[in-house]
Structure 1
């Protein structure tokens, strides 16, 4: 970690004074770094710091709060330090506002397509974002089907059944909007009653309900959150389960059988 801290300082042309790890480093090292010129910054590595920087910039262009990218190369990303001394329980309304801002992002040229300009990863799990023309194709090919060779055979068979039904369960061509892609409380910085920044994105363009669904995997947004953002369309319960299933499958592959019940629950909620 000291090497990462020194590298981050060097990217800014400064010397290292001190550092300590920040919470949330399950799939990457994240450090608060104190520089010898008095500044403090966040330095992290990860699967692709350059791609993460591009995602943060894209989110920032919508007006959503994100940390400024101060420097980046293939080994490290240096970010503005943002206050994070608050509790999400006091900021749900502001988070709804922030997510709505992020969702104003659209693919270049206003094209009706789903994906991102390159692939990414969550830890050791690759995330393919190749463009598709319909949303069920994207979710089938890029988010569910990619796991078939990495899960037990009985689970793979359930997933194959789900895949065949996706065109009937998901909208064919919803408005593609910019998604955070890995939205949960740990990736939302808050101070007082305001969101200070969205972090650790896994961006792509897709159905807005994905972020709303994944936010509910590890958190429980109150009714006021949906009132501020907008109430999901009819039948969203099944779609939410299908979108949450991707998060559960990623965690199953990263952390093992502890997450098998979560996968089973979302399959059951989706009717499979």
Structure 2
């Protein structure tokens, strides 16, 4: 974690910073609780990544706010080449996952004509190219899966066995897309349980988005990888916006993506998860 100097802190759009305390905030950013004359705030810092790193998150929060509770953005910008994002402090509580499922379904009912987004997100460790596509399989394979496989190969985290199973998975996606209408939905993009919280007044909230428009089963598939979402969540979702029949046969496409992402980021601890998912493609 980068040590923030008094000179650095003085450039924040805050008055009279009284305290700064590191807090848990995920694997990607340095995170802090800040107390100033403006109140209690949550500060995220991305060393040496500049303003553009958080511009994508701010845009995602804005898009999700059309249908979901999201953090309140105070400001974001760049100090000494470091990106920063200031959010209103959120008191964490508990809530009903049925309501969370309904909220995610409402987000997915925001549609677009094509798959993708109006900007790329290239400041991350895995750059996301979001060029608009009319085909979901083309977008997902060419702009998500195959770039990620390329990075995994460069790190020595890909092999011939994985390639053989992947080719079967790839063809399934192409074949399904040819014969079914998939409508582009607004996606959270990183919907694990850590990014779906409840506030102190028991309201569900979505945080840390990586948005684009895609197959809504992508988000739901990611919810199944590490758990934490219970039957009430899926019931709330399906009561609001039912999934297409046969989702259980397609869920592993998106589990594969998320497991491979973790193999690329974090290495061998996730390789058994990846190979377990791929083993079903024979």
What is the match of residue 191 of structure 1? 199
Query: How does 1:13-28 map onto structure 2 within 5 Å?
Result: 13-28=14-29
SS at match of 2:275: helix
Aligned position for 2:174: 167
| Equivalent residues of 2:97, 2:230 under 8 A apart | yes
- 1:85 maps to 93
1:176 is aligned, of 161, 180, 184, to 184
Structure 2 residue 58 is the aligned partner of structure 1 residue 53? yes
Give unpaired runs (5+ residues) of structure 2.
none
Q: Deviations over 1:129-178 (max 9, x none)?
A: 22211111111112211123223232234323432332123465412111
CA contact (8 A) 1:82 1:197 kept: no
Q: How far apart in 2 are the matches of 1:238 and 1:221? A: 19
> How far is 1:91 from its partner?
2.5
The match for 2:216 is 208
CA distance in 2, matches of 1:5, 1:91: 42
The answer on 1:266 being equivalent to 2:277 is: yes
**Counterparts of 1:50 and 1:178, CA distance in 2:** 17
**In angstroms, what is the RMSD of aligned CA positions?**
2.4
SS at 2:91's partner residue? Answer: coil
* Contact persistence 1:174–1:207 (CA under 8 A): yes
Q: Counterparts in 2 of 1:1-272, with a 5 A limit?
A: 1-3=2-4, 10-35=11-36, 37=37, 39-46=39-46, 48-60=53-65, 62-74=66-78, 75-86=83-94, 90-107=95-112, 111=113, 113-120=114-121, 124-149=125-150, 150-151=152-153, 152-154=158-160, 155-170=162-177, 173-191=181-199, 194-230=202-238, 231-269=242-280, 271-272=281-282
- Aligned partners of 1:116, 1:127: CA distance in 2, in Å? 10
Whole-angstrom CA distance in 2 between matches of 1:4 and 1:177: 43
Distance change in 2, residues 1:52/1:9 (3 Å): farther
User: Which whole-Å CA distance do the structure 2 matches of 1:187 and 1:6 have between them?
Assistant: 32
Give the conservation status (yes or no) of the 8 Å contact 2:61–2:70: yes
Segments of 4+ moved more than 3 angstroms = 4-11, 169-173
* Structure 1 residue 17, shift from structure 2 partner: 1.5
Distance 1:253 1:6, change over 3 A: farther
Q: Distance in 1 between matches of 2:5 and 2:108?
A: 33
1:30 CA displacement: 1.7
> In structure 2, how many angstroms separate the alpha carbons of the residues matched to 1:256 and 1:122?
21
Offset from partner CA, 1:84-142 (integer Å, 9 cap, x none):
133xxx421121122122223233xxx2x101122226952222222211111111112
Distance in 2 of aligned mates of 1:172 and 1:73: 42
User: 1:175-214, CA deviations, whole angstroms, 9 ceiling, x for partnerless residues?
Assistant: 2111000001111221357334211111000111111111
Q: TM-score scaled to structure 2, two decimals? A: 0.83
Say whether the 8 Å CA contact 1:102–1:178 is kept in structure 2. Answer: yes
Q: Deviations over 1:38-74 (max 9, x none)?
A: 50111113461111111111111x2300011110114
What are the ranges of 5 or more consecutive residues in structure 1 without an aligned counterpart?
A: none
